[in-house]
Amino acid sequence: MDVNEASNAEVRFNKVDVEFTGQPKEYFGIWIVNIMLSIVTLGIYSAWATVRNKNYLYGHTKIDGHAFSYLAKPLQILKGRIFALILFASYAVLTHFYPITILPFILLFIVLFPWLIVKGLAFRLRMTSYRNVRFDFLGTYKETFVTFILFPLVGFFTIYLAMPWALKKIDEYVLSNTSYGQKQVTTYIETSKYYLTVLLTVLVGIVAVVAVMAFMFASAAMDFSTFFGFNVRVDAVFIVVYLPLLLLIKSIYKVRIRNHIFNSSEFSDLAEFKSDMRIVPYTLLQLTNVLAIVCSLGLAYPWAEIRTARYLAFSTQARLNEHADTVLDTMSERQSAFGDEAADAFDIDISAI
Amino acid sequence: MKQQLRGTYYFPASNRSQLAKLLVNGDSVNLYSEQQCIFATDTCQLSVASAIPGVAVEVTFADGGKFVAEDRSVRLSLGSVRAERLEKSNKLILASILLVPLLLWFGITVVMPKLAAASVDYLPDSVAQQMGEQTFYALKKTILEPSQLEKEVQLRVVQQWQQALEQLGLPKEKFQLHVFKSDYFGANALALPDGTVVITDELLRLLAEKPDAILAILLHEIGHVQRKHSIRMVAQSLSNTIAISVVFGDIEGLGEVIVGTGAALVQNAFSRNMEREADDFALQKLAELGKPATAFAEAMQSFLAIQERDNKDSDKQETSLIQYLTTHPDIKERIEKAIQYGK
């Protein structure tokens, strides 16, 4: 009852809206016109295209009515892309024409890989801001080498028995080194959740293999080819059985792990999150996305992106400290996009969320 | 020129924010909150992000502060709206839907092959040399095993080959023939970019009674070398990969797959064209040697016989022979052509 109580009491959190307000039609226009301009300018405009697409998606992702911002500048991206292209082209040319040089490249790649990850994550986070405060990644080369190369190797040499543990270590490492201004993420994710989730995907995988086999036998017995005049067995199996099951397995992992990560990570005293994605709706979303993209020869891609973003926002809740106006932006230096672009060129995709 | 915008002001270097009104009057820019001026600057001290359809105007001040408009459709006359106008133009969107696939198709089927073919001429011979040697080395380490045929049989084939080369005025040192056993290749022959020619035991056994057919197949293989096919193929798949990654810098996941599939289909068509070119080369050289063009037809017929035999006890594992055939034009078509050539 005394005046001090307010400061001693637990921090009060308010539930705030998480929303995604992008419109498929609007985004489609931006997307297709930018692809067109990229082709016409022989790829130079693609840096502008990236920035504009990202700006649209970030600008429509809002927590508590405040949108995220994408801060990277097109020229930064273009420079990064040119460097990455030179690296990638020399890799591709050398390994194509001189097959044996692939060995030193693999070694070089192992050495470079953690560096690419650190640079890529740092760039992505530093170019993201919310309420004028930037995110950051604090990981180092050494820790990244251990987490992204040694731990998965342990997983591999234990006939994958330790792999769920390695996956958890990776997520934990990325999360706990993520910061918003001077606030760092605290995470309590548990190894047991990863084991349970992987076990579930394996069980569904076994069911999937049995189902595909059964389908093959059934269709062989009925002999579809006599109905259609040609052999549709393989395609039918792919669309009816294989694809949904594959997406289901991916969704099980994504949904359970994302929920777990959001529910057990926080910016202490600042923000807490909750995620309640569900496996079946998410699988159906992914399945319809894939079918739409394939049937439209890729034109449905922006629509799929918007739907996914909407679903993710819809399944996320945030609670903010009502006195959250105290986060300071601690960064000012310029950042090269090279790591991020190089990581993209070599198909490394790392994102915990 | 006066403009007034309602929105949110974000203080520099912190997440503090305040509802505010931005007033632009000529060169001077002022921010008001509850009738009080909280920030004053001029137009040289700020930057306005290039407008994007459906995204609110964002003004960044020199000190790191930021103003975001509330209404998503209003635009400041200070900022650029050129790109936005393009992205909102229904005509351009429609044109893009038609042009993007067309341009991609044109690029992958016409421009890229031309570029690849032209660039191959600039590659030094040492590239083909190295490529061949390294591939040969890798093959010997992995899927080629020493031949199990008798020495005489091997010698006879090599001698026949060298004799043919001599008659045709082709360099013997370049097109050296090697005999290997290979479960992976099955009945097959191949030529590496540097001219090294490999024939498998199984193919020799298959065509034991038909030395002219063997010759026809080997000539077909060196036809690929003479026309620099494998280097052109590599150059093309390479330039496609690079071009696609340049244009679609940010296409992820499935988009990539679709573009990739398109490129693969073109690649297949491209390789069928190459097979035809190599066939023509073989037929022409057979004629120069005074051998009947039917030798080529004979070789194809032996393949066909095996294919049909395998089809009969179908649902068996695909033989490597079928593998060989899938990238080659329809075998019957090739036999027809050889017979036509003979006439």
Contact A138, A183 (CB under 8 A): no
| Residue A38 to residue B241, Cβ atoms within 8 A | no
Confidence of residue B133 (pLDDT cuts 50, 70, 90): confident
Distance from the B125 Cα atom to the nearest Cα atom in chain A, whole angstroms: 12
Distance of CA B217 to the CA centre of its chain: 27
| Residue A92 to residue B130, Cβ atoms within 8 A | no
Whole-number percent of chain B with pLDDT over 90 = 21
CB contacts, 8 Å: B131 with chain A: 97-99
For every residue of B291-321, DSSP letters joined together read --THHHHHHHHHHHHHHHHHHHTTTSPPPHH
In whole angstroms, give the CA distance from residue A340 to residue B184.
40
**CA nearest neighbour of A147 among A135, A137, A136:** A137
B87 lies within 8 A of chain A by CB = yes
Which of A69, A96, A297 faces B258 most closely, judged by CB atoms? A297
- B 98-117: CB under 8 A from A: 99-101, 103-104, 107
Whole-number percent of chain A with pLDDT over 90 = 49
CB contacts, 8 Å: B11 with chain A: 132
Contact A253, A280 (CB under 8 A): no
In whole angstroms, give the CA distance from residue B210 to residue B204.
9
Contact B162, B218 (CB under 8 A): no
Check the CA dihedral B205-B211-B212-B214 and report its sign: positive
Q: What residue type is A313 in one-letter code? A: A
| Residue A99 to residue B246, Cβ atoms within 8 A | no
Confidence of residue A190 (pLDDT cuts 50, 70, 90): very high
β-strand B58-61 against B66-69: which pairing, if any? antiparallel
Distance from the B264 Cα atom to the nearest Cα atom in chain A, whole angstroms: 15
Rg (CA), chain B: 33
Mutate: best of B87, B93, B315, partner A, most A CBs <10 A? B87
A307 lies within 8 A of chain B by CB = no
| Residue B245 to residue A345, Cβ atoms within 8 A | yes
Which of A27, A98, A345 faces B134 most closely, judged by CB atoms? A98
Which of A56, A181, A325 faces B55 most closely, judged by CB atoms? A56
Does the structure show a pLDDT above 90 at A22?
Answer: yes
What value does the mean pLDDT take over residues A219-235? 52
In whole angstroms, give the CA distance from residue A42 to residue B244.
10
| Residue A38 to residue B97, Cβ atoms within 8 A | no
- Give tens-digit pLDDT for A128-147: 999 989 898 999 999 999 99
Confidence of residue A164 (pLDDT cuts 50, 70, 90): very high
| Residue B58 to residue A69, Cβ atoms within 8 A | yes
pLDDT at A75: 87
Per-position b or e across A132-153, b if 16+ CB within 10 A of its CB: bbbbbbebeeeebbebbeebbe
pLDDT at B273: 80
CB contacts, 8 Å: B17 with chain A: 66, 131-132, 325
Whole-number percent of chain B with pLDDT over 70 = 84
Does the structure show a pLDDT above 90 at B319?
Answer: no
Does the structure show a pLDDT above 80 at B65?
Answer: yes
In whole angstroms, give the CA distance from residue A31 to residue A56.
10
A94 lies within 8 A of chain B by CB = no
In whole angstroms, give the CA distance from residue B289 to residue B283.
10
Other Cβ atoms less than 10 A from the Cβ of A103: the count is 10
Does the structure show a pLDDT above 80 at A247?
Answer: yes
**CA nearest neighbour of B256 among A105, A345, A192, A104:** A345
Confidence of residue A43 (pLDDT cuts 50, 70, 90): confident
| Residue A100 to residue B134, Cβ atoms within 8 A | yes
Distance from the A1 Cα atom to the nearest Cα atom in chain B, whole angstroms: 30
Looking at the DSSP bridge assignments, the partners of residue A267 are A185, A271
**CA nearest neighbour of A266 among A166, A178, A328, A203:** A178
| Residue B52 to residue A48, Cβ atoms within 8 A | no
pLDDT at A254: 95
Distance from the A186 Cα atom to the nearest Cα atom in chain B, whole angstroms: 20
Query: A305: number of CA atoms within 13 Å, CB side?
Result: 26
For every residue of A294-335, DSSP letters joined together read HHTTTTTHHHHHHHHHHHHHHTEEEEEETT-TT-B----S--
Higher pLDDT, A122 or B244: A122
**What is chain A's mean pLDDT, rounded?**
84
A216 lies within 8 A of chain B by CB = no
**CA nearest neighbour of B227 among B281, B166, B165:** B281
| Residue B14 to residue A325, Cβ atoms within 8 A | yes
CB contacts, 8 Å: B53 with chain A: 26, 29-30, 56
B324 lies within 8 A of chain A by CB = no
Identify the residue whose tokens are 């269709």.
A219
Does the structure show a pLDDT above 70 at B266?
Answer: no
pLDDT at B323: 44
In whole angstroms, give the CA distance from residue B194 to residue B113.
22
Give the lowest-confidence range in B4-13, B15-24, B330-339. Answer: B330-339
Domains annotated on chain B, with CATH:
2-87 (2.30.29.30), 125-230+249-342 (no CATH)
CB contacts, 8 Å: B16 with chain A: 325
Residue A78 has phi, psi (to 5 degrees) of -60, -45
**What is chain B's mean pLDDT, rounded?**
82
Per-position b or e across B303-316, b if 16+ CB within 10 A of its CB: bbebeeeeeeeeee
pLDDT at B329: 58
What value does the mean pLDDT take over residues A230-238? 55
pLDDT at A243: 82
What value does the mean pLDDT take over residues A112-136? 88
| Residue B17 to residue A132, Cβ atoms within 8 A | yes
Mutate: best of A23, A28, A30, partner B, most B CBs <10 A? A30
Mutate: best of A96, A132, A294, partner B, most B CBs <10 A? A132
- Give tens-digit pLDDT for B72-104: 888 988 888 889 999 999 999 999 999 988 988
Which of A42, A85, A329 faces B14 most closely, judged by CB atoms? A329
Does the structure show a pLDDT above 60 at A353?
Answer: no
pLDDT at A343: 56
B12 lies within 8 A of chain A by CB = yes
Distance of CA A101 to the CA centre of its chain: 32
Does the structure show a pLDDT above 60 at B324?
Answer: no
Higher pLDDT, A240 or A80: A80
Contact B96, A32 (CB under 8 A): yes
What value does the mean pLDDT take over residues B247-276? 62
Other Cβ atoms less than 10 A from the Cβ of A218: the count is 10
Does the structure show a pLDDT above 80 at B109?
Answer: no
Give the lowest-confidence range in B26-35, B143-152, B232-241, B247-256. Answer: B247-256
Distance from the A283 Cα atom to the nearest Cα atom in chain B, whole angstroms: 16
| Residue A297 to residue B96, Cβ atoms within 8 A | no
pLDDT at A220: 64
Higher pLDDT, B157 or B241: B157
| Residue B238 to residue A297, Cβ atoms within 8 A | no
H/E segment holding residue A266: strand A265-267
Looking at the DSSP bridge assignments, the partners of residue A272 are A266, A319
Query: B99: number of CA atoms within 13 Å, CB side?
Result: 15
- Give tens-digit pLDDT for B29-53: 999 988 889 888 988 888 898 999 9
Does the structure show a pLDDT above 60 at B170?
Answer: yes
> Which tokens sit at B84?
């936005």
**CA nearest neighbour of A127 among A79, A182, A72, A175:** A72
What value does the mean pLDDT take over residues B135-154? 88
- Residue A225 makes CB contacts below 8 A (sequence gap 6+) with A231, A232, A233
